[in-house]
Chains A and B, each alone.
Chain A
Amino acid sequence: MKDNCSNGEVRVGFYVCHCGHNIAGMIDCPAVAHYIGRLPGVAVSRDYKYMCSDPGQELIKQDIREHHLNRVVVASCSPLLHEHTFRHAVEAAGLNPFYFQMVNIREHSSWVHTDRVAATDKAMALSRAAVNRVRLHRPLETTRVPIHPDVLVVGGGISGIHAALTLANGGKKVFLVERDPSIGGHMAKFDKTFPTLDCAACILTPKMSAVRSHENITLWTYSEVVKVEGYVGNYVVTVKRKPRYVNEALCIGCQECINACIFKEAKFPDEFNVGLSKRKPVYIPFPQAVPQAVVIDPARCLHFKTGKCKQTCIEACGDRHAIDLTQKEELVQVKVGNIIVATGFRLFDAKRIPQYGYGLYPNVVTSIELERLVTSSGPTGGHVALRDGRTPQSVAFVLCVGSRDFKTNRWCSRTCCMHSMKLAQLVREHTGADVTVFYLDIRAPGKGCEEFYDKSLKDGIQFVRGRVAEVTDWAVTPEEEGKLVVRVEDTLAGLVRRIPVDMIVLAVGMEPHADAQDVRRLFNMSCGTEGWFLEKHPKMAPVATFTDGVFIAGCCQGPKDIPDSIAQAGAAAAEAMALIDRGYIEQEPNTAYIVEADCSGCKSCLALCPYTAIAFDETKGKASINAALCKGCGTCVAACPSGSIRQRLFEDDEIFSEIEGVLAHA
């Protein structure tokens, strides 16, 4: 490769980007270019409107050719955004891509400062540092790490299911791990989906059975990932398979054991029906569950609690011998190259807002409880009823319960407006009740959603704007006797109202799982302040994370509806597929290395490396670094007392020159 530096002379090309008005609005770009142009070794110094555009990149390539540049510095946005772009341009012009340095004068200067002079000064200092540094750059080669072709998908909700199926259909082997005894997630609990009102089960259950029967998918329900080891492209994942006390392969889901259970009556709250119905200690989560295998709840089963049970279930199972009460927790290990995390959300606990009376008044229910009530396969067979069995004459929906609220969660959960309007229509259909929706703003941005809102208005659903202050059963007028009263400031009418109704539905928002932080650490991801998993870039990389080969999909990244979850799951699957088909991940050559002659053999570095990349050669008395294991943090470099460990791209002399550069007076 020609490096334009056969005679050893360094010729730097410096480019400062206006980024339209984003940088030029706060930084005097021509002044920066002029200042840098006077520094020794700078052959070309220019300012340009959009450096990342095609003509911008072409400018660099042309200058490299015409002015025999052998170093390039671009002062523009964050290197996390466009470093690759410019390295690529530099490489295309025949230079080593690491003869490049980027200066972040947008995110770190023009966007965060209000004083043009100070911002320009800062841009000059940062640019000067980069020019200082780039002079010392060495040519480097990226390393390629081969990728294991199998994929792990964590979470069997609609996102995980879709991602797993997409990959499996593309011929990739997928391990799908789900914490609950069945896949299906939240969507399995829904009756219909907005805005089309098509049956949720009709679109979900075929996908669930496809997962079960797909030859490329290994489904592990009632399982959790407990450990992730290995490195990019080659993860070793340990999955804990909780005992379901039933052999999945032998159980055919005939439910005879359930009928035969010593508990004649179902008496334990059924998780799937959010406690609205009862189940036995041996149960099938829901009729369409995948896998179609019963599960035994050791916390409820007489055998596990007292050891004294006639074990009628085993008797009923007979020759199949599917029930195995001796089953133990099992740890299995798999090797995968990519991981898609689709762990979803949990619903806001309505008890956290006591003034809404959830748990106090029996006829205050949450939206998911109503969802189960309207479902024909639900606990009431689709009959929307009050707790005493009467059909409600009037129903109120309270929106933004645990959303858009500084006292609880400040984000918008995005689906509750539409979900409530859907339920409102279903309630009217089922009961003919008067429905009032209390809202802050109606957010119906999805395709067909505004039209659905229109329809709701035309169908006679009442909308009252205002955050509900309180729900009470304290009647002050005869009409309020025996009813629940919603107290609200109607901000459109400009008055405080009391509205008596029979039933109140709290549209509870979404929040991250209680153990989201543990999951995040497991996969080396980041979380936003709210606890949702953080994408690599909010726009350019919405399903990637900061760890290569780890992707996120669905509501674990933030609240979203079913179409968005599926779109994201498809995107994550495509990104994983792209990596697998390419076969390797290109790694930054920022690994550490040892200058053997300088190594004193003190072994200070050995204990510092969390990846055991440093070994010690006893015969030579020197340490050595395995580049394949080194992840390039540089901790050992900073610790080496003899200065014999060095880090590519972050060499001591490069950083010292950068320090000198930022401190130089403009």
Chain B
Amino acid sequence: MHDADWQPRIVAFFCNWCTYTAADLAGVSRMKYAPNVRIIRLMCSGRADPQFILAAFSGGADGVLIGGCHVGDCHYAEGNLKTLRRFQLLKRVLRDLGIDERRLRLEWISAAEGDKVRTVVNEMTEEVRSLGPLGLPRRFAEWDGEMTHLEGLAQTAESQVEEAKPEAAHA
């Protein structure tokens, strides 16, 4: 179905204070985990605009991971709660778009939980691997191809109609 050398690509949005620091701790502790996650630092998980997540999927990500402070521990009091609400809505949108909701994951990881970064990244990488590539850029290209093809067909049909027109008018 997909290339044998395909590797899941996961974009992660980590909050500066808890999860990004936890990922630093995982590094300092030399924990080993799957190399499939690319971390983007935000000040708060609350900054994780749903558009970022959709942009990541449409840009070729097979999964998106959001990491924030535990509920009640947000550096900005309650940004993570806003994330949680958006996350629930976004999952519905993804479902409607036909994207398996397991491709989007939200985790609360405190600055002390380097081990949890490792576990979550490893788990998610394996889950996304089992789901296979999302391949939206390829699908977009295919759809674009189809559209161009259809447009071409429509144009031909139109010009045939145009050509037929004088006669029709005549009649």
Query: Does chain A bind chain B?
Result: yes
Does B24 make an interface contact (CB < 8 A)? yes
- Other than the given A80-B21, A112-B33, A652-B49, 19 more pairs (CB < 8 A) read A104-B39, A107-B27, A111-B27, A112-B31, A112-B32, A118-B7, A122-B35, A524-B75, A526-B73, A538-B28, A546-B17, A632-B43, A633-B75, A634-B46, A638-B50, A652-B51, A658-B40, A662-B38, A663-B60
**Quick check: B11 and A610 within 8 Å, CB to CB?**
no
Within 8 A of A (CB), among B18-56: 18, 20-21, 23-24, 26-28, 30-33, 35, 38-44, 46-52, 55-56
CB neighbours of A574 from chain B (8 A): none
- Residues in B with CB closer than 8 Å to A361 are none
Contact yes or no, B47 A659, CB < 8 A: no
- Bound CA span A547–B73, Å: 13
Q: Is B97 an interface residue (CB 8 A)?
A: no
Give the residues from 136 to 174 in chain A that come closer than 8 angstroms, CB to CB, to chain B.
Answer: none
Kindly specify which of A434-442, A475-483, A527-535 makes contact with the partner chain. Answer: A527-535
A633-B11 contact, Cβ under 8 Å, with A118-B35, A656-B52: no
Proximity bits, A87-121, B CB within 8 Å = 1, else 0: 00000000000000000101111011111001101
A635 and B44 contacting across the interface, CB-CB below 8 Å:
yes
A121–B47 touching, CB < 8 Å: no
- Does A115 lie within 8 Å of B35, measured CB to CB? yes
Task: Return B36 CB to nearest CB of chain A, in Å.
Answer: 8
List of A residues within 8 angstroms of B73 by Cβ: 521, 526
Q: Could you write out 27 A-B pairs with CB less than 8 Å apart?
A: A104-B39, A111-B28, A112-B30, A113-B32, A118-B7, A129-B38, A524-B75, A526-B73, A526-B111, A529-B112, A546-B17, A631-B76, A633-B43, A633-B75, A635-B44, A635-B82, A637-B49, A638-B49, A638-B86, A639-B82, A652-B49, A659-B11, A659-B40, A659-B61, A662-B11, A663-B38, A663-B59
> Which residues from 490 to 539 on chain A have a C-beta closer than 8 Å to any C-beta of chain B?
521, 524, 526-529, 534, 538
| CB atoms of B24 and A114 under 8 A apart | no
Instruction: Give A641 Cβ to nearest chain B Cβ, in Å.
Output: 11
- Interface pair B32/A650, CB less than 8 Å apart: no
Which A residues lie within 8 Å of B27 (CB)?
78, 106-108, 111-112
Separation of A527 and B118 alpha carbons in the complex (Å): 19
Per-position 1/0 for B129-160, Cβ under 8 A of A: 00000000000000000000000000000000
B residues 87-114 near A (Cβ < 8 Å) are: 110-113
Q: Is the CB of B47 within 8 A of A526?
A: no
Tell me the chain A residues, 628-656 only, with Cβ under 8 Å from chain B: 631-635, 637-639, 647, 650, 652, 655-656
Q: Are B35 and A121 in contact (CB under 8 A)?
A: yes
Q: Does A295 lie at the interface of the complex (its beta carbon under 8 Å from any beta carbon of B)?
A: no
Whether A608 sits at the interface, judged by CB under 8 Å, is: yes
B48 touches A526 (CB 8 A): no
Residues of B within 8 A of A658 (CB): 40
Contacts A112-B26, A638-B86, A655-B40; is A650 near B47 (CB within 8 Å)? yes
Chain B residue numbers with a CB within 8 Å of A79 are 41
Please tell me the size bucket of the interface on A.
Answer: 35 or more
Cα–Cα distance between A107 and B31 once the two chains are bound (Å): 10
How far does the Cβ of A23 sit from chain B's closest Cβ, in whole Å? 11
* Interface status of A284 (Cβ within 8 A of chain B): no
Within the complex, the shortest CB–CB distance from A595 to chain B, in Å, comes to 16
Bound form: Cα–Cα A528–B41 in Å: 21
Check A662 against B40 for contact (C-beta < 8 Å).
Answer: yes
Would you call A107 and B44 a contact (CB within 8 A)? no
Q: Is B79 an interface residue (CB 8 A)?
A: yes
Please tell me if the beta carbons of A633 and B79 are within 8 angstroms of each other in the complex: yes
Chain B residues within 8 Å of A, Cβ to Cβ? 7, 9, 11, 16-18, 20-21, 23-24, 26-28, 30-33, 35, 38-44, 46-52, 55-56, 59-61, 72-73, 75-79, 82, 86, 110-113, 118
Contact status B61-A633, CB under 8 Å = no
Least Cβ–Cβ distance between A613 and chain B, in angstroms: 11
A415 within 8 A of partner (CB): no
Contacts of B72 in A (CB 8 A): 521
Once A662-B11, A662-B40 are accepted as A-B contacts, the answer to whether A119 and B55 lie under 8 Å apart by CB is no
B110: A residues at CB distance < 8 A: 526-527
CA distance A527 to B72 in the complex (A): 13
| Nearest CB in chain A: distance from B61 CB, A | 6
In angstroms, Cα B86 to Cα A631, docked, is 21
Query: A660 to chain B: which residues have CB within 8 Å?
Result: 55, 59
Smallest Cβ-Cβ distance to B46: which chain A residue: A635
A590 at the interface (CB under 8 A from B): yes
The answer for the CA separation of A458 and B39 in the assembled complex, in Å, is 57
| A464 interfacial contact with B, CB 8 Å | no
Q: How far apart sit A590 and B43, CA to CA, in the bound complex (Å)? A: 9
B40 in contact with A129 (CB, 8 Å): yes
Interface pair B38/A634, CB less than 8 Å apart: no
How far apart are the CA atoms of A5 and B52 in the complex, in Å? 29
Give Cα A475–Cα B156 distance, bound, in whole angstroms.
105
List B contacts of A590 (CB < 8 A).
43
Q: State whether A534 and B112 are in contact (beta carbons under 8 Å apart), knowing that A112-B32, A633-B79 are contacts in the complex.
A: yes
- Residue from the list A106, A115, A129, A647 in contact with B47, Cβ < 8 A: A647
Q: How far is the CA of A632 from the CA of B16 in the complex (A)?
A: 11
State whether A638 touches B48 (Cβ < 8 A): yes
Distance (whole angstroms) from the CB of B8 to the closest CB of chain A: 12
Residue of A with least CB distance to B30: A111
A80 touches B24 (CB 8 A): yes
Whether B32 lies near A114 (C-beta < 8 A) is yes
Taking the closest CB of chain A, its distance from the CB of B69, in whole angstroms, is 8
C-alpha spacing A529/B72, complex, angstroms? 16
Q: Does A126 interact with chain B (Cβ within 8 Å)?
A: yes
- Check B112 against A526 for contact (C-beta < 8 Å): yes
| A579 at interface by CB-CB < 8 Å | no
Q: Which residues of A contact B50 (CB under 8 A)?
A: 638
**Complex Cα gap A113–B27 (Å):** 9
Distance (whole angstroms) from the CB of B156 to the closest CB of chain A: 36
> Is the CB of A399 closer than 8 A to any CB of chain B?
no
Question: What separation, in Å, do the CA atoms of A546 and B110 have in the docked complex?
Answer: 13
A125 within 8 A of B: yes
Bound: A635/B75 CA distance, A: 12
A632 to B17, CA, bound (A): 12
CB distance from B81 to the nearest CB of A (A): 9
A173 to B35, CA, bound (A): 51
Contact (Cβ within 8 A) B28 A107: yes
Residues in B neighbouring A109, C-beta threshold 8 A: 35
Which B residues lie within 8 Å of A634 (CB)?
A: 42-44, 46-47, 79
Question: Which A residue sits closest to B78, measured CB to CB?
Answer: A610
> Do the beta carbons of A108 and B30 come within 8 Å of each other?
no
A608 to B59, CA, bound (A): 29
Chain B residues with CB under 8 A of A638: 46-50, 82, 86
The residue on A at minimum CB distance from B69 is A526
B residues in contact with A650, CB < 8 Å: 42-43, 47
* Given A107-B27, A119-B35, A521-B72, A663-B78 contact (CB < 8 Å): no
Q: For B86, what are the chain A residues with a Cβ–Cβ distance below 8 Å? A: 638-639
Most buried by B among A109, A111, A114, A521: A111
Roughly how many angstroms separate A529 CA and B46 CA in the complex, as a whole number? 24
